[in-house]
Structure formats: C-alpha cells, structure tokens
C-alpha cells in the first residue's frame, strides 16, 4: 500500500504537517491500512506491524460531520497472528475497538486526547504502559487473554471497566488518576483470574470496586486514596493487600466503604500501616 509523502519526506502517518494530513484524509488511509492487514492476517506464524510514532493529530474545530469521519474505528479488524505496535503515538480523535480481536496490541507511551473505547472482543497481550488518557477510557464486555499493562499511565477524565475478564495478570502500578472539572471516577467491575496490582497508585478521584471477582492476589501497596474508596460485594479467593507506606502520606485520606458478604471472602483482606479510623463505621 503506497502512502502519501509530505514535502519533508515523511509519510502521512509520521508527518507533522496538519494541513497535509487533512488534505490526504489520514484517518481514511489508516482504516484502509488496517483492513488490508486484516485481509492478509491468515498465516500461522505471528508477524509484527510496527507503526511506532504515529502522529494522528487533527484540529478540534472541525464541523461535526468532519469529526465523524475522524473516528478511528477498529470494527471488523481481527488480527489473530499480527502483533500491532502503535507505541509513542499521538491521537486527537476518538478510538473505538468494537468486537475486535487482536493477538497482541501495544499503545505504550501514547497520548490520547479523545475518548478510547474497548467494547467487546478478545485481546491478547495489551499494553498502555506510560500512556496518557486526556479523556475517558471505557472498557466493557472484553476478554483479555494475556498480560495487561497500564503501569505508569495517567488518567485525566476517569476510567470505567465494566464486566471485563482478565485471564492473566493486569497491572496498574504507579498510575495517577487526576481530579478535574467536571469530576470523574474510576469504576471497576470485572473478573480477575491472576495477580492484580495497584502498587503506589494515586487516586484523586473516587475508586469503586463493584462486584469484582478476584481469584488471584490483589495488591494496594503504597497506594494513596485522596478521596473516597468503595469496595462493594467482592468475591475474594486469595490475599487482598492494603499496605500503607511506613513514612509519607496516609493511605486513606477520606472515608473508605467496605460492603462485604462474609460468605464471598474465601481469602484474606490484609491491612498494614493503614488507619481504621477512615473506614465507614457501618462496615467496620
């Protein structure tokens, strides 16, 4: 597939010339590239598609019809043998994964200025390591079959995980969840088969763990909750660690609500260096 080249010799994906990208309809070309790869994704051996440092940045003052065309939609893309790498890229448009299948996909060190939605389908190894979500991240009805990495990611407009299934480890260590106007929340509902890690995360927004199934160990070591933390009717089959730092900020800085069903706690909830004074008296 031949790609347009700008006056600096860069292809349309890596070009910094915004007018050139608009003129050549970069989003349409990106969709065609994905579908072309999709049609060839039939070999038994895994292949790599490295599109590192994409620059999918377009103005925000386009008309509504223009914005619809700018949507990056992975509908119909099923890369079961091709690993897709989009690391160190920038996206100004909304990205949607509706019922898509990917053996491996990596968005490490990316910046997303608009919403990202992962809605259904199956994904293999998935990485958003050190990425920035300037808008909302929504994950629903999706099965992750391999390791999921959100380490060092930054969330500016909240996170929703609804009825998702993580069959391997999922890690959020050193993530920051910022409070902005309007206020956002982190809402998580899912099945976690192996280790789940929130080491040294900073939550400036409400964290709600609602009806989660934790079969593996859960780790909140050195985490900081600067506002409310809710744990509602979880099924805990292993250890659930909540460990504050021996020196530094208190792990709980606002009320904490544990709404537990004793019959659903098959493992242990372990507190270390955490004050019980912040736990809602109704749930102590």
Residue 76 has which token pair?
């119909």
pLDDT at 282: 61
Question: What distance in Å separates the CA atoms of residue 84 and residue 284, rounded to the nearest whole number?
Answer: 47
Q: For the chain, where are the alpha helices, taking DSSP H only?
A: 18-23, 26-40, 64-70
Query: Residue 64 has what pLDDT?
Result: 45
Cα separation, 199 vs 242, whole angstroms: 10
The pLDDT value recorded for residue 268 is 96
Structure tokens at 277: 């004074």
Phi and psi for 108 in degrees, rounded to 5? -65, 140
Q: Strand, coil or helix: what is 225? A: strand
pLDDT at residue 62 in the model: 47
At residue 95, the 3 state secondary structure works out as strand
The stretches in the chain having pLDDT less than 50 are: 62-69
């Amino acid at each position: 597939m031949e790609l347009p080249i700008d006056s600096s010799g860069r292809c349309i994906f890596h070009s910094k010339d915004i007018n050139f990208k608009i003129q050549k309809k970069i989003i349409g070309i990106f969709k065609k590239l994905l579908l072309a790869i999709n049609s060839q994704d039939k070999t038994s051996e895994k292949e790599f598609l490295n599109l590192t440092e994409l620059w999918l940045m377009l103005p925000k003052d386009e008309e509504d019809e223009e914005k619809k065309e700018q949507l990056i939609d992975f509908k119909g893309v099923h890369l079961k043998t091709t690993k897709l790498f989009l690391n160190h890229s920038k996206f100004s448009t909304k990205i949607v994964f509706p019922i898509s299948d990917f053996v491996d996909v990596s968005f490490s060190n990316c910046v997303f200025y608009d919403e990202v939605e992962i809605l259904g389908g199956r994904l293999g190894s998935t990485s958003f390591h050190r990425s920035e979500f300037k808008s909302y991240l929504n994950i629903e009805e999706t099965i992750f079959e391999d390791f999921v990495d959100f380490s060092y990611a930054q969330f500016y407009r909240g996170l929703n995980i609804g009825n998702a299934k993580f069959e391997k480890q999922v890690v959020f260590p050193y993530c920051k969840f910022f409070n902005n106007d309007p206020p956002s929340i982190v809402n998580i509902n899912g099945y976690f088969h192996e280790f789940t890690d929130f080491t040294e995360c900073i939550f400036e927004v409400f964290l709600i763990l609602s009806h989660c199934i934790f079969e593996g160990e859960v780790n909140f070591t050195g985490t900081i909750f600067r506002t409310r933390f809710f744990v509602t009717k979880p099924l805990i089959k292993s250890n659930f660690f909540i460990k504050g730092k021996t020196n530094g900020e208190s792990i709980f800085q606002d009320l904490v609500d544990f709404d537990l069903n004793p019959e659903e706690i098959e493992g242990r909830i372990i507190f270390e260096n955490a004050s019980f004074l912040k736990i809602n008296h109704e749930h102590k």
